[in-house]
Amino acid sequence: MTTKNSIGIVKTKIFKSSNSLKLKSGKVLKEYSLIYETYGKLNAKRNNAVLVCHALSGNHHLAGKYSSKDKHPGWWDNLIGPNKPLDTNKFFVIGINNLGGSDGSSGPKSINKKTNKPWGSKFPITTVEDWVNSHEALITSLNIPKLAAVIGGSLGGMQAIQWSIQYPEKIEHAIVIAAAPNLTAQNIAFNEVARQSIITDPDFNKGNYYEKKKRPKRGLRIARMLGHITYLSDDVMGSKFGRKQKNKDYQYNFNTEFEIESYLNYQGDKFAEEFDANTYIRMTKALDYYDPANGNKKNLSKIFKKIKSKVLVIAFTSDWRFSPNRSKEIVKALLDNNINVKYAEITAASGHDAFLMTEPRYHAILESYFKEMLRN
């Protein structure tokens, strides 16, 4: 993208709530803070706001850079900006770092005022429902009576679903990408392996490691490596790496020899330096717990009776973690209630990560949908 398509330099904002938030677990946060960013301008009618919900390892920094020296822009910069599919010349876009996050919102790294130490393991587990409630409080503070849309991929898509259930009067469109109404047993299993790699790291110290010199990087590194395997399709791994070796001949030792090994090690090391282990295990728990139908597919149609928004559901053919069949479950439950829903299944080789990629047909569908929103 050229500079004319860029958001440019952006700044973070902070929302501080002195109102208590009762969590789904029954615990209460007496006060909390959310870090967020906004792009574009809120129009006079205050009806052009789009909330973007992030996935497991995402955050509030959707687009632009904090300084010209930054190597990379926000994680959805290919989608959000002037004259991009989510056009900031037309929409007021909001990105929020969820509760429990590691980028400034209240979470395990935050200071517990009772102890003047980081919360660590004592910070309560928060759920998709809790995030939506906290989002709504922030949106209300901005004097936005109704969101034009809530959009998200993966775990972000689950939040978009929940917004339409929890606050049906406050959302006009829900855009649900590469998501599911709940996790399969296989997905829960992947999350548990990731958590165990972190929890059993000796440096994890039961989640209370902030005041120590060591953090559980080894466990977090392995968790991320596992995650990357599930986010990519076999075809992409094959075409990108195949059986390529770093050296011409086998070394007959346990050092890195294949290019795929080198890639996973790099991604794991990089992530372990940037992300927080306590946040990672909490985000995976939020994924596991999300199930508006409480395990009964028939209940999903009953729950969706509350929905008043229009819905766009997008799936990717090569996504085996949240397969198109899971998206079709959402579509069916919506159709059972005669809800206005559009479904697109994109042929893409990138696997689950396709929702982050600049896939032409995918972006064209989103651009068309947003333009249709403006016309209506």
Identify the pLDDT of residue 216: 97
Told to judge if 363 belongs to the known catalytic residues of this protein, a careful annotator would answer: no
pTM of the model: 0.95
Residue tagged active-site, from 319, 327, 350, 353: 319
Residue tagged active-site, from 134, 164, 352, 353: 352
For 85-113, write each residue's pLDDT tens digit: 999 999 999 999 999 999 999 999 999 99
For residue 97, give the DSSP letter: P
Residue tagged active-site, from 57, 106, 134, 154: 154
Told to judge if 276 belongs to the known catalytic residues of this protein, a careful annotator would answer: no
Identify the pLDDT of residue 132: 98
Q: End-to-end CA distance of the chain, in Å?
A: 29
Lowest mean pLDDT among 74-88, 143-157, 285-299: 285-299
Q: Which two tokens stand for residue 104?
A: 């400034």
Q: What is the mean pLDDT of residues 314-323?
A: 97
For 208-237, write each residue's pLDDT tens digit: 999 888 999 999 999 999 999 999 899 889
Domains along the sequence of the chain with CATH = 3-184+292-375 (3.40.50.1820), 188-284 (1.10.1740.110)
Chain centroid to CA 151: how far?
10
Told to judge if 154 belongs to the known catalytic residues of this protein, a careful annotator would answer: yes
For 7-51, write each residue's pLDDT tens digit: 999 999 999 999 999 999 999 999 999 999 999 999 999 999 999
Identify the pLDDT of residue 190: 97
Identify the pLDDT of residue 140: 98
Identify the pLDDT of residue 1: 38
Per DSSP, what are the bridge partners of residue 32? 17
State what percent of residues in the chain have pLDDT above 70.
99
Q: What is the mean pLDDT of residues 325-343?
A: 97
The Cα 369–Cα 151 span in angstroms is: 12
The candidate with the shortest Cα–Cα distance to 106, out of 278, 248, 320, 232, is 278
Phi and psi torsions of 295, nearest 5°: 80, 0
Identify the pLDDT of residue 4: 61
Identify the pLDDT of residue 298: 75
pLDDT greater than 70 at residue 2: no
